Amino acid sequence: MTMLTLNRVTRYFGGLAAVNDVSFEAEANQITGLIGPNGAGKTTLLNLISGLDQPASGEIRFMDRAIQKLPPHKINQLGIARTYQNIRLFAEMSALDNIIVGMHTQGKAGLLSAALSLPGYRAEEKRLREQALQLAERLGLGSFCNTPADALSYGDQRRVEIARALAAHPKLLLLDEPTAGMNAAETARLGELILSLRDEGLAALVIEHDMSFIAQVCDHVVVLNFGEVIARGTVDAVKSDPTVVAAYLGEEEAADA
């Protein structure tokens, strides 16, 4: 079943087509990789899907609903949650409280009852904390629950972001370079976690430069270069695609120049 469909999506920044006429699908119960050289348009595409930014043209459909004009919180409520390439945590809040932030879309008791400290609110607060604790344990953050986010290593901060995204009970998880700042052991564990989440029914779209991680977790890969899809298929197929090889070689030559 197709979960996410992009149909001819375009986003310009001034004269630059950061995302140019992009079409692809992400399937339910699959991990789709989004790869490509620096500046290819990967983060811009994630911003468009999550509602942080709007396309100039084209359509983004999630579970048969056009979402390209919806604000981020609506898209989150529909079942898409994300992490950020540049980590966005509340620096002075504990890891656990940052995870609880991700649950705000699920909360039933309103702000008024919170302000009045009504019993219904306190019961719900307790329920949310217990759920957040379970997520923290699952992400290997159990011993850091009370640590302020900015005192954590980059790898741990990335896991707090993933836990916060999962706290919204998404159907589709968007990850922007989740292994950046993680060592090899943390990266391998994250790969296993993503695969176990997929086995529980979660779909994901994962941006990553680490090709062995992509090979570990992805069922299907989309390759972007200069804002355009230049290849898609299995990891093995795209790795040996001459257009893809040339795009990455071009990047190395540009870096050497």
Ligand X SMILES: Nc1ncnc2c1ncn2[C@@H]1O[C@H](COP(=O)(O)OP(=O)(O)OP(=O)(O)O)[C@@H](O)[C@H]1O
- 13 touching ligand X, by CB under 6 A: yes
- For residues 119 and 124, what is the distance between their CA atoms, to the nearest angstrom? 9
Q: How far is the CB of 24 from ligand X (least distance, A)?
A: 15
- 240 touching ligand X, by CB under 6 A: no
Residue 13 touches which of ligand X, Mg ion, none (Cβ within 5-8 Å per kind): ligand X
Q: Is 147 exposed, middle or buried (0-12, 13-18, 19+ CB in 10 A)?
A: middle
Which one-letter amino acid corresponds to residue 154? Answer: Y
Q: How far is the CB of 207 from Mg ion (least distance, A)?
A: 6
Contacts with ligand X by CB under 6 A: the residue count is 12
One residue of 15, 38, 115, 240 binding ligand X per CB under 6 A:
38
Q: How far is the CB of 39 from ligand X (least distance, A)?
A: 4
- 158 touching ligand X, by CB under 6 A: no
CA 231 to chain centre: 21
Indicate the helix (H) or strand (E) that contains 54: none
Checking DSSP bridges between strand 65-66 and strand 228-233, what pairing results, if any? unpaired
- 40 touching ligand X, by CB under 6 A: yes
Nearest Cα to Cα of residue 164 among 224, 93, 220: 93
- 85 touching ligand X, by CB under 6 A: yes
Identity of the residue, 11 or 220, whose beta carbon is nearer to ligand X in the bound complex = 11
Nearest Cα to Cα of residue 87 among 1, 156, 24: 156
Q: How far is CA 103 from CA 108, 135, 176, in A?
A: 10, 11, 20
Using the contact rule CB under 6 A, the part of the chain among 11-19, 94-102, 136-144, 245-253 near ligand X is: 11-19
Identity of the residue, 56 or 123, whose beta carbon is nearer to ligand X in the bound complex = 56
In the complex, the residues that contact Mg ion under the rule CB under 5 A are 42-43, 85
